Amino acid sequence: MAKKDLIGGKLWETYSNNVIERMNNPTYFGEISPEEADAENRRLIVADWGAESCGDAVRLFWLVDTKSDTILKARFKTFGCGTAIASSDVMAELCMGKTVDEALKITNLDVEKALRDTEDQAAIPPQKMHCSVMAYDVIKKAASLYKGVEMEDPEEEEIVCECARVSLKTVKDVIRINDLKSVEEITRYTKAGAFCGSCIRPGGHEKRKYYLEDILAEVRAEMDREKIKSIGSLETFEEMSPIAQYKAIEEIFAEKIKPILHRDGGDVEVMDIKKEGEETIIFIRYLGGCATCAAAGTGTLSMIDKVLKETAGPRVTARMI
């Protein structure tokens, strides 16, 4: 809450001119007839996403050249608000000329970016982002129809929000792609949780298998782990803040070192990280079986040291406290 939030009702003023132009005059709405596809190496794909009862539904038509997998022509029809029309229009435009695999890389963010007037000004308000997420979903659907594969991903079929028909996969994808940090953001992007609210956390009027709060926590944790894992080279480890360094080291211990020690009833904990000239010293303390093991200061220590050098970098050294 701040000055900009005090006067409500600003929805229509937040649309970019590009959005307004496409709402008023969409270029690519319409259908592609089976006759048009009735030629050699041509295939018509018709994909549906959403439902009128949820407020938004889109149908995407592709005319694909089967030799090169190139989308020659794309058209759409949509039941939805103006921004759904605008984002569908841009989506159709973005598909054309791309191969099916290239089209699959189009995300909700690409659609939104293409609708912007200027680089740093959002084209539509956050709560309207679900319209472009829908564009992304329908492309996936079209591609799977073209490739003749089912959307076999079990997460795709697992519906988290029944009201808005949002799948587990979609929720996980939007969290990752848009770096979402709150359930409110997920709701703005996907509509999940916007209606009965049962899927947000336990205690709603309906019991759910998955809850948005849990999914968010899980995906965020996964993302954190990946971030740490991606930091393998020396220069990035050196550049990290002390806290990030500590987290990265903890992660390395949890993933690669502790499981080995646990096998022999031992354990280890990270006590401190200190810089000594060019070197970063990781101070450790043994626990359990390792505390009394004769090899702890020799073979085990050099194993730990080797793992650290492989992951965090050659100038990282393990030392007993």
Partner 1 sequence: MERVYLDNNATTMVDPQVSALMKEYETEKYGNPNSLHSYGMEVRQPMEKALDQLYKGLGASDEDNIIINGCATEGNNTVLKYYLFDQILKKGDKKSVIVSSVEHPSVFNTAKYLEKMGARVIFLPVNVDGIVTLDILKEYLNPEETALVSVMWANNETGLIFPVKEMAGYCRSVGVPFHTDAVQAIGKIPVDLQESPVDYLTFSAHKFHGPKGIGGLYVRKGMPIGPLLHGGEQMGNLRAGTVNVPGFIGMGLAMDLAVSQLDRELTQVRALRDRLEDAMARLPDVSILGKRELRTPNTILASFKGVEGEALAWELNKFGVAVSTGSACASESLETDHTLVAMNIDPSLSHTALRFSLSRFTRDEEISYVIEVLGKAVERLRKISIDY
Say whether residue 24 binds partner 1 (CB under 8 A).
Answer: yes
Say whether residue 55 binds partner 1 (CB under 8 A).
Answer: yes
Q: Is the dihedral of CA 15, 17, 18, 24 positive or negative?
A: positive
Judged by CB under 8 A, which stretch of 22-30, 154-162, 271-279, 300-308 contacts partner 1?
22-30
* Residues 69, 296: Cα–Cα separation, whole Å: 59
54 is catalytic: yes
Using CB atoms within 10 A of its CB, is residue 214 exposed (0-12), middle (13-18) or buried (19+)? middle
* Residues 252, 246: Cα–Cα separation, whole Å: 10
Task: Write down the least CB distance from residue 7 to partner 1, Å.
Answer: 12
81 is catalytic: no
Say whether residue 130 binds partner 1 (CB under 8 A).
Answer: yes
Catalytic residue among 95, 131, 161, 290: 131
Write out the binding residues for partner 1, residues 167-196 only, by CB under 8 A. 187-188, 191, 194-195
Strand, coil or helix: 273: strand
Of 82 and 266, the one with the shorter C-beta distance to partner 1 is 82
Say whether residue 300 binds partner 1 (CB under 8 A).
Answer: no
Q: Where are the alpha helices (DSSP H) in 7-129?
A: 17-24, 82-95, 100-103, 108-114
Burial 43-59 (b: 16+ CB within 10 A, else e): ebbbbebbeeebbbbbb
Q: Answer yes or no: are the C-beta atoms of 197 and 204 closer than 8 Å.
A: yes
Say whether residue 112 binds partner 1 (CB under 8 A).
Answer: no
Of 32 and 85, the one with the shorter C-beta distance to partner 1 is 85
Say whether residue 27 binds partner 1 (CB under 8 A).
Answer: no
Q: Which residues are catalytic?
A: 54, 131
Residues that bind partner 1 (CB under 8 A): 8, 11-12, 23-24, 26, 29, 48, 52-59, 77-82, 84-85, 127-128, 130, 187-188, 191, 194-195
